[in-house]
Structure 1
Amino acid sequence: MPDEARQEPPEEQDARIAELEDNWRRALADLDNLRKRYARELPRELEAERVRVASAWLPVVDNLDLALEHADSDSGAIVSGVKAVRDQAVEVLRSLGYPRYEETGVPFHPEQHEVVSVVDEPGTAAGTVVQVLRAGYGEAGRQLRPAAVVVSRTQE
């Protein structure tokens, strides 16, 4: 205890202790209220996020419905339409923070790539992605799914 506290009369010390206990109890009550408010608001925030994500996908579903309606039409137009819908879906994922990546010729990175196969690839440095079998989505530290890749092996 500081020297001044030892020199305070017992009544003042008791008052100071009571004040500190009161502040402590108020802080506990504030914390409890914060926890209760968070518990009330969390389900609303989760629902709002679900609505936002589902709404982002609705145009993709609408365009797939249109493609199915025209399935008996010109097959070239159908393929073109399906590619446009895929691009739209990729854009939705990008807007949600998961950009698509499917680059070849880049070094293998364990956080972004899942090795499916290893091949001898003359003229290519070992550990280079030579083929992407399934695109990956996300960024460093925020992966939705790694890319499934074929990697060049160490050349001896």
Structure 2
Amino acid sequence: MEGAEDKSAEDTASAEPDSSTSTPDLDVLIDKWKRALAEAENARKRAEASHLEGRHHGIATAVEALAPAYDAICGAVEAAQSGPDANNPRITAHLDGLGSIKAAFETGLKALGVRTIAPKDTPFDPVLHEAMQIHETDEQEPGEVLVLHRPGFAIGSRLIRPAHVTVSATPIRPADT
């Protein structure tokens, strides 16, 4: 029996790795494990970003297709409000309906994460605005948006379409000769 105990102790000793050889192997395995975890996390982040970009692309495509309908609704509201029959009860009822449609459209855009770019009395931003006209005036600072002709839309950092605007400019005065 004594020999069996000695042999068992010998087996245990030989089963335990030599500390001089096991530490580098363990360090290599730990390093590989950490790299695999980092790569998995990076892959997850790339997949998430790709999914978000795909979602934004799909929403942008839909907004581009529906924007002319929104523009038509806005134009109809403006025309009815400024027309000679603006106080006519029938026109008022139509305005209420068009206003509800416009509000529902805007609520839907907001729910999808789309921002409406409707700058008035703000500085002109060539990234977000497209100048359709320049109006010379002393009443506004140069480079201010005076009139919004058509709102723009953006989602995330993606510009779907720029806002069409009129921008103020310093009047050109003839040189005194």
When normalised by structure 2's length, the TM-score is 0.49
Residue equivalent to 1:80: 96
> Residues 99 and 32 (structure 1 numbering): CA distance in 2 closer, same or farther, change over 3 Å?
closer
What's 1:18 paired with? Answer: 25
**Distance in structure 2 (CA, Å) of the matches to 1:102 and 1:12:** 70
For 1:86 and 1:126, the matched residues in 2 are separated by: 32
RMSD over equivalenced CA pairs, Å? 3.7
Identity across the alignment (%): 20
The equivalences for 1:127-146 within 5 A come to 127-138=143-154, 143-146=159-162
* Structure 1 residue identity aligned to 2:105: A
Change (3 A) 1:93 1:19: same
Aligned residues: 118
> What residue ranges of structure 1 are gaps of 5+ in the alignment?
1-10, 54-73
Bigger Rg, structure 1 or 2: 2
Runs of 4+ in 1 over 6 A off after TM superposition: none
Q: From the superposition, tell whether residues 29 and 154 of structure 1 become closer, same or farther in structure 2 (CA, over 3 Å).
A: same
Of the structure 1 ranges 13-22 and 139-148, higher mean CA displacement relative to structure 2 is found in: 139-148
Q: What is the match of residue 150 of structure 1?
A: 166
TM-score w.r.t. length of structure 1? 0.54
Which runs of 5 or more structure 2 residues have no equivalent in the other structure? 1-17, 60-89, 173-177
Equivalent in the alignment of 1:92: 108
